[in-house]
A and B are shown apart, each in its own frame.
Chain A
Amino acid sequence: MAYSDKVIDHYTNPRNVGTLDKSSSKVGTGLVGAPECGDVMRLQIQVDDNNIITDAKFKTFGCGSAIASSSLATEWLKGKTIDDAMKIDNMDIVEELALPPVKIHCSVLAEDAIKAAINDFRVKNGLAPIESEKVHH
């Protein structure tokens, strides 16, 4: 199976690899996936007082498409409000990276990671987590 140029680009030069201080109240952390399934994503957001995401970092254990999906997600998150970030749909990632059907789960995982990071931030700041209505599986 050949990878798209965009997957290769994100895989070769991943954006925003790193770690934010997960104990900070301004940081939301999402850890999704499982080692047994062959992919684990950790996505973190730094949020300012206006609910704007000023920084995003990731680390991913997984295939090239999983790494590319999370790298792309961090790019998209920066500068967005958390409300807008909540609207990122996995199919947008599929389209941008031209993922084949067998790799759609990588984009689902990235969307889950975004939502998990936002909810972690919300809970830390006394807000209720937002339940996703979308059913992927």
Chain B
Amino acid sequence: MNLPIYLDNNATTPMDPRVLEAMLPYFNQKFGNAASRNHAFGWVAEEAVDYAREQVAKIIGANEKEIIFTSGATEADNLAIKGVFEMYKDKGNHIITTTTEHKAVLDTCNHVEKLGGRVTYLPVQADGLVNLQELEAAMTSETILVSVMYGNNEIGVIQPIKEIAAIAHKYGALFMTDATQAVGKIPVDVIADGIDLLAFTAHKIYGPKGVGALYVRRKGPRVKVTAQMDGGGHERGMRSGTLNVPGIVGFGKACELCMQEMEGEAKRLSALRDKLQTSLLQLEESYVNGNVEHRLPHVANISFKYVEGEGLMMAMKDLAVSSGSACTSASLEPSYVLKSLGLSDDLAHSSIRFGLGRFTTEEEVDYAIEVTKKSVTHLRDLSPLWEMFKEGIDLDSIEWAEH
């Protein structure tokens, strides 16, 4: 077992060696521009892109003509939201999303508001799920787009996508989902789920960074987005720019491998995750954040009360995890996702996200359990809050000097 152990697979994943192998020829031997129509170098590159496009389409049950390659999920989110806002502005200007979306969606929605759009940011329930009645109540005749993420990056909660899509369609709006964390981990099917636009990326599924895709439905209805990048008219005019051929080849291979291995991997990872979670919940005053039934198989977000997340991560220096603690970000605000669940600031500060992946072993999980338990206990011995809790002092009764 090599240290440190990587348990931050929601941030990014290591590339699978089989993906790297598929990509390598496209850097120097088959280096052609996929848009060069008049010689063999271009044809070879185009053929590789076409093949990858099929692999990428297949993992979400789409047609290859519905895949627009981008630089990643952030660009795909931008293209979907801004592109729909521009394309459908005669129909309406209202967009509905949720407070627990990724910043790529939230900040894009903020931008659209500055352009005259109206955005509803739906709160979520304490378990992280969208309330369908509230969603329906927010729909208007002006609503052109509903954007709800498939699986949450911090807590792993899976939204009722099919039901949300049905509500959007009932009111004549399009449904978009940022499925960055879900694709490749659980079955995603744009037809069965009723998805009109879907953003995802390669580097969360053991592919390379710098390549992603937007699915844009072609039939029932035919969805169009206004290009946000002007130029040579690549990707059916929706996203100009020379295609990242090695990246796209790697993305395709990554999707193919995920499809082949998904069922077994999901079982293996959820068993490991459950072992980790069950063991860590044996610690007093520890809590799982978010719904545990509708959850991605590889994620557990746990708060260890009376211990601060960054301090804890420092103690767990051989584990690469992430925390909702403010100290890990420049903003000095704890995770907005956890706060949306109604968590108090101190519990949000005390959270750790464990994200398992394809290369996580049981030995590593056992080690992570041991280190986490030891670190939490050590820091609680240092914590004045833990001492007060043990003495039965109600921390809410103390007048804290906020600084």
Q: Are A61 and B384 in contact (CB under 8 A)?
A: yes
Does B85 count as interface, using CB distance less than 8 angstroms?
no
A62 with B400, Cβ < 8 A, contacts A36-B346, A40-B384, A67-B382 known: no
Q: Are A105 and B387 in contact (CB under 8 A)?
A: no
Interface magnitude class on chain B: 20 to 34
Q: How far is the CA of A37 from the CA of B386 in the complex (A)?
A: 16
A137 with B327, Cβ < 8 A, contacts A36-B346, A59-B384, A61-B308 known: no
Q: Are B382 and A17 in contact (CB under 8 A)?
A: yes
Q: Are B325 and A38 in contact (CB under 8 A)?
A: yes
Q: Are A42 and B334 in contact (CB under 8 A)?
A: no
Residue in A closest to B345 when the chains form the complex, CB atoms: A36
B interface footprint on A52-78 (CB within 8 Å = 1, 0 otherwise): 000000011111101100000000000
Q: How far is the CA of A63 from the CA of B330 in the complex (A)?
A: 14
On chain A, the residues within 8 Å of B382 by CB distance are: 14, 17, 59-61, 67
Does A25 count as interface, using CB distance less than 8 angstroms?
no
Of A35, A59, A60, which one neighbours B345 at CB under 8 angstroms? A35
B interface footprint on A89-101 (CB within 8 Å = 1, 0 otherwise): 0000000000000
Does B326 count as interface, using CB distance less than 8 angstroms?
yes
Residue in A closest to B400 when the chains form the complex, CB atoms: A34
Q: What secondary structure prevails in chain B residues at the interface with A? A: helix
On chain A, the residues within 8 Å of B279 by CB distance are: none
Q: Are A38 and B387 in contact (CB under 8 A)?
A: no
Does B306 count as interface, using CB distance less than 8 angstroms?
yes
Q: Are B307 and A61 in contact (CB under 8 A)?
A: yes
Q: How far is the CA of A137 from the CA of B403 in the complex (A)?
A: 8
- In the assembled complex, how far is the CB of residue B22 from the closest CB belonging to chain A, in whole angstroms? 35
Q: How far is the CA of A33 from the CA of B402 in the complex (A)?
A: 6
A interface footprint on B273-298 (CB within 8 Å = 1, 0 otherwise): 00000000000000000000000000
Q: Are A60 and B384 in contact (CB under 8 A)?
A: yes
Q: Are B327 and A34 in contact (CB under 8 A)?
A: no
- In the assembled complex, how far is the CB of residue A69 from the closest CB belonging to chain B, in whole angstroms? 12
Q: How far is the CA of A32 from the CA of B315 in the complex (A)?
A: 23
A62 with B385, Cβ < 8 A, contacts A33-B400, A38-B325, A109-B403 known: no
Does A41 count as interface, using CB distance less than 8 angstroms?
yes
Q: Are B311 and A102 in contact (CB under 8 A)?
A: no
Contacting residues of chain B (206-232) with chain A, CB-CB under 8 angstroms:
none
A interface footprint on B285-323 (CB within 8 Å = 1, 0 otherwise): 000000000000000000000111111001100000000
Does A19 count as interface, using CB distance less than 8 angstroms?
yes
Q: Are B311 and A62 in contact (CB under 8 A)?
A: yes
Q: Are A32 and B401 in contact (CB under 8 A)?
A: yes
Q: Are A35 and B395 in contact (CB under 8 A)?
A: yes
Q: How far is the CA of A90 from the CA of B398 in the complex (A)?
A: 25
Does B349 count as interface, using CB distance less than 8 angstroms?
yes
A67 with B311, Cβ < 8 A, contacts A14-B382, A36-B346, A59-B387 known: yes
Q: How far is the CA of A34 from the CA of B326 in the complex (A)?
A: 13
- In the assembled complex, how far is the CB of residue A16 from the closest CB belonging to chain B, in whole angstroms? 11
Q: Are B325 and A35 in contact (CB under 8 A)?
A: no
On chain A, the residues within 8 Å of B131 by CB distance are: none
Q: Are B384 and A105 in contact (CB under 8 A)?
A: no
On chain B, the residues within 8 Å of A109 by CB distance are: 403
- In the assembled complex, how far is the CB of residue A118 from the closest CB belonging to chain B, in whole angstroms? 16
- In the assembled complex, how far is the CB of residue A59 from the closest CB belonging to chain B, in whole angstroms? 4
Central interface residue in B307, B334, B403, by most chain A CB within 10 Å: B403
Q: Are B381 and A17 in contact (CB under 8 A)?
A: yes
B interface footprint on A20-32 (CB within 8 Å = 1, 0 otherwise): 0000000000011
A interface footprint on B101-139 (CB within 8 Å = 1, 0 otherwise): 000000000000000000000000000000000000000
A interface footprint on B354-386 (CB within 8 Å = 1, 0 otherwise): 000000000000000000000000000111111
Some 24 contacts from A to B, beta carbons below 8 A apart, are A11-B315, A14-B382, A17-B381, A31-B398, A34-B403, A35-B346, A35-B349, A35-B385, A36-B346, A36-B400, A37-B345, A38-B310, A38-B325, A42-B384, A59-B383, A60-B382, A61-B306, A61-B307, A61-B385, A63-B310, A63-B311, A63-B314, A66-B311, A109-B403
Interface residues of B (CB under 8 A from A): 306-311, 314-315, 325-327, 330, 334, 344-346, 349, 381-387, 395, 398, 400-403
19 further A-B contacts with Cβ under 8 Å, apart from A11-B311, A38-B346, A61-B307, are A31-B398, A32-B403, A34-B402, A36-B349, A36-B402, A37-B345, A38-B325, A38-B326, A40-B400, A59-B383, A59-B384, A60-B384, A61-B311, A62-B311, A63-B310, A63-B314, A67-B311, A109-B403, A112-B403
Closest 5 CB pairs of A and B: A34-B400, A35-B346, A36-B345, A42-B384, A63-B310
